[in-house]
Each structure stands twice: as structure tokens, then as C-alpha cells.
């Protein structure tokens, strides 16, 4: 279990993911990206807080269509991701996978909702057999709770003592469908029905995410699967322009999201210094990606 993160570290890591994805949206509008893109803007604390407890080489992360924050937090390879979404040879998958089909060093993504939970469960079985204490963390959204395979996996994970953490990022919507009209009852109670420990918390409280994920992962590693439900909010469209939400609702959440909360805890000079460092690192990352040749077979 990793030590709590300082506010400066939260700010640096979350801001980098935020600015990376804001840059992606700008580039997309200029036709510089290949395929599609879904941003986790507003949900960065989930990636940073959970993945700080994971180690490439020991642990596995399985993510979904909204995967950039998870990838950056786990691999520290933003240049590879930038090159990938630009369809460049230097990308994570040599420019052929694009935004939602990443595969590198124990990090896997797939855009087919629900499919990743059986994949992650199988990987957790492999980790259990290997006996090295590795854990598999799979990230799903609230909308994915409508897929029956999720519950079949919870059943098997409990019966087979799989080292599996399912993180549900409940961002209140599945594309345009609000969670209230799609998900009945309590999300953690769904997991508890299988005898699985489940914790639900407010995603605006970044240190709470870190503490809960650390505790859950320490028991997950011993073969007790767990579910962490993070109530969060996506601050941008589902993908690019498809947003039918009330702008006042979005603006209210923007003022209170985890990045805004942490930002307010910093001295102005410190905030400015970190912002400048992030912009410089991001510029390097874009320049590295742009220097890489366009991949044969990419749509670029």
C-alpha cells in the first residue's frame, strides 16, 4: 500500500492527464488524430488514486474506451499514447490500435463494454496460479453494469478467490442515459450479494480514493476480490460533440471536481510552477509523437 500523495503530487499527476486530454480534443478538431477519442476529464483522481498502488511488472490493469488516464498513470508513457492516437510508428501499438485498443506491459484496453471483465478475471486466475502477489484491476463504467458477464465474473471471482479489483467509475451517465434510469438498487450491494467486499465513495475526495484503493488492494492480493465504486462525473462530452446534459449541471460539477479541490489547496506560486512544468512535459510529448513516422495501415 503506497503512502498518501501530497497535494502537489495530486495536482501534478491529475493536471497532466487533464491537459493531455484537452490537447487531444484540440488536435481531434484539427483532424490530427486517427479514429475516435473519449476523455476522462473530471475523472482523473480515479486513475491516479487507484493506480498509485499498482506496479508494472507485478500487476495488471484492464481498461475500457475511456482509458487514457489509466494508461498514463500506470505506464508513465504519455508520448507512446500520443503517438498511438496520432497513428504513428512510435505509438504504444505501433499506431495501429488507436485510443481504445492499447496493450503494453500488463496494460490492456478494449472498447467492447463488459468484455473486459471476463478477460480480467482470466488474468486474475493466472496471477493466482503464478502466486507472485500480483493483482488485476479492471475499470468499468456505470453503463457497463447492464452486462450480465460482469455478474458471472463476480460469482467466479468470489468462488475462485481471484485477486481481482473491479473499479466502477460511476460518472452518472452511459453516453446520454442517466444512471438513475438504468441502474436499479445499490451498486455495492450487487457485489455484496456475491460475498464480495464493496466500498462506495465520492470521487471529488481524491485522498479517500487513494486510501480505499490501497486497503482493498492489500486484501485483493490475498485472493479476496473487491469492488470500488467511485461516484464521479465526466466534464466533457461522451466522446466529442455528443453532450445533451444541462450546461448548468456540468458547470456546477466543474467547480467542485477533484482537480479543482486540490488546486485550491496550493499556494499560487506552487500552482503556477507545476502548471508550467506540466505544459513543458506535454509539449515534449507532442513533439516526440510528431517526430515519429505515420504507421502503414493507420488511418492517418
Q: Which residues of the shown chain bind Mg ion in the complex (CB under 5 A)?
A: 141-143, 171, 174
If the CB atoms of residues 148 and 247 are measured against ligand TPP, the closer one turns out to be 148
Q: Which of the choices ligand TPP, Mg ion, none does residue 113 contact, using the CB cut-off of 5 to 8 A by kind?
A: ligand TPP
Nearest distance in Å: CB 174, ligand TPP: 3
Phi-psi region of 10 (alpha: psi -120 to 50; beta: other; left: phi over 0): alpha
Q: Which of the choices ligand TPP, Mg ion, none does residue 118 contact, using the CB cut-off of 5 to 8 A by kind?
A: none
If the CB atoms of residues 87 and 114 are measured against ligand TPP, the closer one turns out to be 114
Which residues sit at the interface with ligand TPP, rule CB under 6 A?
65-66, 111-114, 141-144, 171, 173-175, 238
The string of DSSP letters for the chain reads -PPPPPHHHHHHHHHHHHHHHHHHHHHHHTT-S-S-----TT-HHHHHHHHTT--BTTBEEEE-SS-HHHHHHHH--HHHHHHHHTTBTTSTTTTSS-TT--EETTEEE--STTTHHHHHHHHHHHHHHHTS---EEEEEEGGGGG-HHHHHHHHHHHHTT--EEEEEEE-SEETTEEGGGT--S-HHHHHHTTT-EEEEEETT-HHHHHHHHHHHHHHHTTT--EEEEEE----S-SSSS---S-HHHHHHHHHHSHHHHHHHTS-HHHHHHHHHHHHHHHHHHHHHHHTSPBPTTS--
Nearest distance in Å: CB 228, ligand TPP: 15
If the CB atoms of residues 92 and 171 are measured against ligand TPP, the closer one turns out to be 171
If the CB atoms of residues 66 and 128 are measured against ligand TPP, the closer one turns out to be 66
Q: How many residues are present in the chain? A: 300
If the CB atoms of residues 176 and 222 are measured against ligand TPP, the closer one turns out to be 176
Nearest distance in Å: CB 210, ligand TPP: 21
Nearest distance in Å: CB 143, Mg ion: 5
Q: Which of the choices Mg ion, ligand TPP, none does residue 97 contact, using the CB cut-off of 5 to 8 A by kind?
A: none
In the complex, residue closest to Mg ion by CB? 141
Nearest distance in Å: CB 172, Mg ion: 7
Q: Which of the choices Mg ion, ligand TPP, none does residue 13 contact, using the CB cut-off of 5 to 8 A by kind?
A: none
Nearest distance in Å: CB 40, ligand TPP: 8
If the CB atoms of residues 142 and 257 are measured against Mg ion, the closer one turns out to be 142
Amino acid at each position: 500500500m503506497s503512502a498518501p500523495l501530497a497535494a502537489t503530487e495530486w495536482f501534478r499527476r491529475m493536471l497532466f492527464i487533464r491537459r493531455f486530454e484537452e490537447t487531444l480534443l484540440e488536435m481531434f478538431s484539427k483532424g490530427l488524430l486517427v479514429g475516435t477519442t473519449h476523455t476522462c476529464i473530471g475523472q482523473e483522481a480515479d486513475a491516479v488514486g487507484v493506480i498509485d498502488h499498482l506496479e508494472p511488472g507485478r500487476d495488471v490493469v484492464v481498461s475500457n474506451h475511456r482509458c487514457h488516464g489509466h494508461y498514463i498513470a500506470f505506464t508513465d508513457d504519455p508520448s507512446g499514447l500520443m503517438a498511438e492516437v496520432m497513428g504513428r510508428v512510435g505509438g504504444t501499438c505501433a499506431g495501429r490500435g488507436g485510443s481504445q485498443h492499447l496493450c503494453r506491459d500488463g496494460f490492456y484496453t478494449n472498447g467492447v463494454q463488459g468484455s473486459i471483465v471476463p478477460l480480467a478475471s482470466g488474468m486474475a486466475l493466472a496471477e493466482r496460479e503464478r502466486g507472485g502477489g500480483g493483482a488485476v484491476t479492471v475499470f468499468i463504467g456505470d453503463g457497463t453494469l447492464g452486462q450480465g458477464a460482469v455478474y458471472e465474473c463476480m460469482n467466479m471471482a468470489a468462488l475462485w478467490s481471484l485477486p481481482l479489483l473491479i473499479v466502477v467509475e460511476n460518472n452518472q451517465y452511459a453516453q446520454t442515459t442517466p444512471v438513475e434510469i438504468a441502474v436499479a438498487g445499490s451498486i455495492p450491494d450487487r457485489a455484496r450479494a456475491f460475498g464480495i467486499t464493496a466500498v462506495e465513495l465520492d470521487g471529488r475526495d481524491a485522498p479517500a480514493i487513494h486510501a480505499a484503493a490501497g486497503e482493498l488492494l492489500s486484501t485483493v492480493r490475498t485472493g479476496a476480490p473487491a469492488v470500488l465504486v467511485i461516484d464521479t462525473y465526466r466534464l466533457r462530452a461522451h466522446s466529442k460533440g455528443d453532450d445533451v446534459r444541462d450546461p448548468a449541471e456540468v458547470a456546477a460539477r466543474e467547480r467542485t471536481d477533484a482537480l479543482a479541490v486540490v488546486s485550491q489547496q496550493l499556494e499560487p506560486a506552487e500552482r503556477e510552477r507545476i502548471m508550467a512544468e506540466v505544459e513543458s512535459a506535454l509539449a515534449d510529448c507532442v513533439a516526440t509523437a510528431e517526430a515519429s513516422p505515420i504507421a502503414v495501415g493507420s488511418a492517418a
